[in-house]
A = this chain, B = another copy of it.
Amino acid sequence: ATVAAPVFAQDAPTLNWRLASSFPKVLDTLFGASEQFAKQISDMSGGKFNIRTFPAGEIVPPLAVLDAVQKNTIEMGHSPAYYYFGKDPILCFDTAVPFGLNARQMNGWMYDGDGMKLMRDVFKAYDVVNFPMGNTGCQMGGWFRNEIKTVADLKGLKFRTAGFAGEVLSRLGVVPQQLAAGDIYPALEKGTLDAVEFVGPYDDQKFGFAKVAKHYYYPGWWEGGAQVSLYVNAGEYQKLPESYKAMIDVASRSTNVTLLARYDNRNAAALKNLIGQGAVLHQFPRPVLEASWDAATLVYAEMSAKDPKFKAVHDNYMGYRDAQVPWFRVAEGSYDGFVSSMLQKKK
């Protein structure tokens, strides 16, 4: 006969953890996601598992969150892995890569495809257990002082971007610039910067870019659906009771869907406001998009040739995209397209 294991007090220990976000308070969606996660964990554990959240720079610089979790300076972090492009480009597959998966496809790959297993393997080298915890949806291409009419217009363009996008765009003559959020506006005003990509309408409207660089381009082809992840120090994670491990998994998924819902809900109104403030919408010309696609293909080939681990994740991820996109075109694509066309007719 078996007896149910007795429930000991230590099955629900009181814990006080810290979470460092890579995002400032002003980005209430992204920083707010970690706050929501911490509240859910506290509520579900009856106030026993407490996580204090810190915005970018308060206890850890925004680009040092992965390091801090690895060193166990903090138990948890919330960050987009493409911030660590310099460590290893393979990390970018946890966030977004040029012409990669959109938000729903990313969830499909992570939650029901090979994505979670592959990215867990990648993060193991950093002593981190990762959980998808938010997505911005497809971002905008950014704000430009002058129109981009041809591929040649990219030549010498001082563009605030970084990581994978910077690498690809540099092949087309762009000069990528890394600048903290607060420095962008003055640089655009002075002309030391020609263009900036940030996130999308809801976040962008907080910075007033429309006043100095009114040409607002889409799509942000380097971030078709940018995922942000929760990092947990692997050693600390292993010590947790199973119930707390489950709470982290469940709350991270909950926060994932809620953050995307917030962006989707708020971007629509923000875009309208921005247009009211003088923003002029443009789609990148097709030759510019095609040149970017070709440049990205080249960069992927170079990186794959250099690193078999990169190649393995790249091939799985892009194979997933190639299998998913034809299906998304059928029901979703035709539905969205038809509704959109009827609403334009109505006006």
Residue interface bits A87-104, CB-to-B below 8 A is 1, else 0:
000000000000100111
Greatest chain B CB density within 10 A among A11, A110, A112 is at A112
| Chain B residues with CB below 8 A from A137, complex form | 104, 331-332
Q: Tell whether, in the assembled complex, residue A325 and residue B343 are in contact, meaning their CB atoms are under 8 Å apart.
A: yes
Q: Tell whether, in the assembled complex, residue B262 and residue A112 are in contact, meaning their CB atoms are under 8 Å apart.
A: yes
A329 CA to B271 CA, complexed, in Å: 12
Q: Tell whether, in the assembled complex, residue A326 and residue B343 are in contact, meaning their CB atoms are under 8 Å apart.
A: yes
Q: Does A73 contact B (CB under 8 A)?
A: no
| Chain B residues with CB below 8 A from A107, complex form | 257, 260-261, 264
| Least distance between A248 CB and chain B CB atoms (Å) | 10
Q: Does A250 contact B (CB under 8 A)?
A: yes
**Given known A99-B339, A112-B261, A342-B99, contact A250–B44 (CB-CB < 8 A):** yes
Q: Which positions 285-331 of chain A face chain B at CB distance < 8 Å?
A: 286, 289-290, 293, 321-331
Residue interface bits A253-274, CB-to-B below 8 A is 1, else 0:
1101110111011111101100
Say which one of A159-167, A213-221, A232-240 lies at the interface with B. A213-221
| Chain B residues with CB below 8 A from A7, complex form | 46, 48
A99 CA to B339 CA, complexed, in Å: 7
| Chain B residues with CB below 8 A from A128, complex form | none
Greatest chain B CB density within 10 A among A272, A283, A338 is at A338
Task: Write the chain B residue with the least CB distance to A256.
Answer: B257
A46 CA to B76 CA, complexed, in Å: 23
Q: Tell whether, in the assembled complex, residue A253 and residue B242 are in contact, meaning their CB atoms are under 8 Å apart.
A: no
A137 CA to B268 CA, complexed, in Å: 21
**Given known A104-B104, A201-B327, A325-B339, contact A45–B243 (CB-CB < 8 A):** yes
Residues of A in contact with B (beta carbons under 8 Å apart):
7, 11-12, 40, 43-46, 48, 99, 102-105, 107-113, 137-140, 200-201, 218-221, 224, 241-243, 246-247, 249-251, 253-254, 256-258, 260-262, 264-269, 271-272, 281, 283, 286, 289-290, 293, 321-340, 342-343
A-B pairs with beta carbons under 8 Å apart, 30 shown: A7-B48, A12-B12, A12-B46, A40-B246, A43-B243, A44-B247, A44-B250, A99-B339, A102-B332, A102-B335, A104-B261, A108-B262, A112-B258, A112-B262, A138-B331, A218-B331, A218-B334, A218-B335, A219-B335, A221-B335, A224-B339, A250-B251, A253-B258, A256-B257, A264-B328, A265-B324, A283-B334, A286-B338, A326-B340, A329-B340
